[in-house]
Amino acid sequence: MAIFEDFMKLDIRVGTIIEVKEFEKAKRPAYQLKIDLGPEIGIKKSSAQITEIYKPIDLIGKQILAVVNLQPRQIANFMSEILVLGIYSNNGVVLITPDKKVQNGDKLG
C-alpha cells in the first residue's frame, strides 16, 4: 500500500487545454494535447487516450487535472510531459475537471 507521503509527492495542477491534434502514430487512438498550466509551469504536452468520449472541439478551453512532476514519456514520435487524469468508465475515459473555473496552475490540495 502507498502511504500518505507517497501521494504528497505528486504535483497535481489545473490546466486548460489550448490545442488538440489527432495522434496518428499512437498504437491506440489518442490525442496530442497542449495544456496551459499557468506562468509557473507554462505550456506542456500530453498524449491522452480520450477519443471515445471527446471530440477535439469539445476539449479546447476545458480545464483538467494533471500530474506535472512525473518523468516525461516517449510515445511513438511524441514526448508526453504530463499525465492528464481521468476515470475509466464503461464509455471510455472521462477527464477529471474542477467544477468551477480556477486559475491555471492551481494545485490540488
The x, y and z cell numbers of residue 75, run together, are: 510515445
Fold of 4-95: OB fold (Dihydrolipoamide Acetyltransferase, E2P) (2.40.50)
Domain ranges of the chain: 4-95
Query: 33-67, pLDDT tens digit by residue?
Result: 999 999 999 999 999 999 999 999 999 999 999 99
What pTM was estimated for this model as a whole?
0.94
Q: Is 34 left (phi over 0), alpha (psi -120 to 50) or beta?
A: beta
Mean pLDDT value of segment 11-26: 96
Contact 16, 105 (CB under 8 A): no
pLDDT value of residue 109: 80
